[in-house]
Copies of this chain bind each other. A is one copy, B any other.
Amino acid sequence: MLIAFTNSRKRSAIIITCLIGLATAVIADEGMWLFNVPPLKQLKEKYNFEPTPQWLERLQKSSVRFNSGGSGSFISSNGLVITNHHVGLDTLQKISSEKNNYVRDGFYAKTQAEEPRATDLELNVLMSIEDVTARVTSALKPGMSAEQSATARQKAIADIEKESKEKTGLRSDVVTLYQGGAYHLYRSKRYDDVRLVFAPEHQIAFYGGDPDNFEYPRFDLDICIFRAYENGQPAKVEHFLKWNPDGPKDGELTFVSGHPGKTDRQLTYDELADMRDHEVPYLLNMFNRREVFFTAFAARSFENARRVREDLFGIQNNRKRYDGYLAALLDPEIDRSLKAREQKLRDAMSKDAKWKGTLAAYDRIKKAQDETAKVLPVYNYYETLRGKQTATYRAPRGFYSTLFKYARLLLRAGDERPKPNGERFPEFRDSSRESLELDLFSTEPVYDDMEQAMLTDSFTDLATRFGYNDPLVQKVLAGKSPSARAAELIKGTKVKEVAVRKKLYEGGAAAVTAAKDPMIELARLIDGPARVARKVFEAQDEAKQQAYGDIAKARFAIEGTSNYPDATFTLRLSYGAVRGYKEDGKQIPPFTDFAGLYRRSAEHDNKPPFDLPQRWIDKKSNLNLSTKFNFVSNADIIGGNSGSPVVNKANEFVGIIFDGNIQSLVLDCIFSDKQARAVSVDSAAITEALRKVYDAQPLVDELTAAK
């Protein structure tokens, strides 16, 4: 599933225009394009299609970003938003209880009064883009150290964001593109009152489970429908997508508008090699550990299983995704392409006296990489709260607990908020205040037994990573076993209560100190070393950014500037044709249908994860079994595109992206359309299922009434 997962290690990025080796000879449908630099030339040349500015604006403003890591779109004037079930899953999990199990049973609100509100979901709609490159780069003066540059750059960005927020009231983020190539100010309309309208059973949304994930053919109704509210009323939205109940045709040109999370196509070969040999193995090691941990926890009782369903889903999804990415990086053919891609640019630089000196930038990146590696263990286990690109906070690896997350946010809010805006960590700047508060004051349930298990496992992980006798580990454990220490912290802390969190947040550092809360004191205990690691990490990241910036300048000069930057969880436009592919000599057709779903279930004796919800068994005879269910296209997508609308040339909603096939996992580092495919739910299947399986005719009416 293509939900965004941003690594603990942020990556700098630079545009590389020429991807060789894997791309086919004709112009490939490559690219995750900026809406202000759309692929007009390519669309005209290959498809003879010229989107108008109005066409682009409609699609842009119908597109929605989910802070839980995915994409979506408005599909009615009354604020209906469609996304994937697995994007909505975070909310479904948080508003479910042992009694009301929306994840397992699905949900349909027949009236607006029945729509339950999400606990901490934030939607953003991109309203405008402004190039602020000149203003950001003018903050950097010659002779500054990497650390000084980092501070100056951060301050310039914070100023721009604050100014914009105050002027427009819109969420304002300065986005780094082509690393040093460009800085754009993105202004977004924010919705934080979001309510659930419809979700199918997890079973059919994620039909085939882990075995079918990232595979094709598929049979998943991976959708979830919310409604955005403003001032307690359904949001009236100007831009939304017209519902097309028939889906696309084989070979038809389609467009995808969504928020791809992160690609590595512009990294140096050294950085990709480090990814292959260190970072991805590190992540897989972490996911393996967590998968085993959560699976064992879930096996103990139905209620345990319910509580960790979403975590487990996310972990398995990432594990499978990184397995696939690693396989790609270990493929010698791909390795040669990556090397050749870099060599081509290096050769061009060597031949031009003006850019020859820029070759040193590669060494600077390597050096920064080596310096980063030194603090990485501390950074990963003690610091990582989030990269700016992901919208939700995560606890660091050694303290994997929701209560710790709250404790640290309270501690740091107290320390950071009194500082001048530009000197704070980005997550505490004025421009991020609303998002921070939404997260910090979430009513998401916190289960003591889960916290106990997770924190015990984290402390064990921490102790073995640094050694039991490591002085900081000894301080963290305070003379107790991991499990006794976890129990004491969970019993003693008060941050579980939203009211306590509000009070401490409002009271600032003095109140936080006075509380003498053991979990907050733990956060304080490790705050020094964690901040040191973050400082080094960010200074080295700045050094990389500058080096990538230098390479970018050379590249722009050598190859021109009209191309797309690496994905950064910002809105992008992709396109491609509905198209099958060949695998092991067999032609895989682009569409599946409902009949195929029932066949697959029968093949597996209707046993999990191939079992059908009872409703689908009961309603089988109502259904037109030749209804198209899922389809593939060769649009260029990646994690974060989950929930992206697929539209036709008429800008009508014809499907929704929910996955890529296993061959698409290479797209992280290089484009290919030989076998890589984006997988979508067909709008025909959604229409048929809503009507005939879920008796949701009023919802269908609302969708199809929309003009």
Contacts and interface: CB of A to CB of B under 8 A. Distances in A.
A326 interface: yes
Nearest to A461: B281
Interface in A339-398: none
Contact of A288 (B292, B320, B330, B480): B292
The 5 tightest CB contacts between A and B, nearest first, are: A281-B464, A331-B481, A288-B288, A277-B467, A211-B299
B288 A460 contact: no
B481 A332 contact: yes
A249 interface: no
Contacts of A320: 296
Interface extent on A, as a size class? Answer: 35 or more
Contact of A211 (B211, B296, B319, B330): B296
Most buried by B among A277, A287, A465, A605: A277
Contacts of A702: none
Give the copy number.
2
B330 A463 contact: yes
B460 A330 contact: yes
Given A284-B289, A292-B319, 6 more contacts: A210-B299, A211-B299, A273-B469, A302-B604, A330-B460, A332-B477
Interface string A582-621: 0000000000000000000000110101000000000000
Q: Chain A contact residues: over half helix, strand or loop, or mixed?
A: helix
A209 interface: yes
Contacts of A562: none
A479 interface: yes
A164 interface: no
Contacts of A482: 327, 330
B468 A276 contact: yes
A330 to B, nearest CB: 6
A99 interface: no
Interface string A284-326: 1101110110011001111000000000000000011000001
Nearest to A285: B285
Contacts of A273: 468-469
A314 to B, nearest CB: 14
A681 B604 CA distance: 35
A483 interface: yes
Nearest to A282: B464
A281 B464 CA distance: 7
B210 A464 contact: no
A292 B295 CA distance: 10
5 contacts: A211-B300, A281-B465, A284-B289, A287-B292, A330-B481
Nearest to A456: B327
A291 B300 CA distance: 17
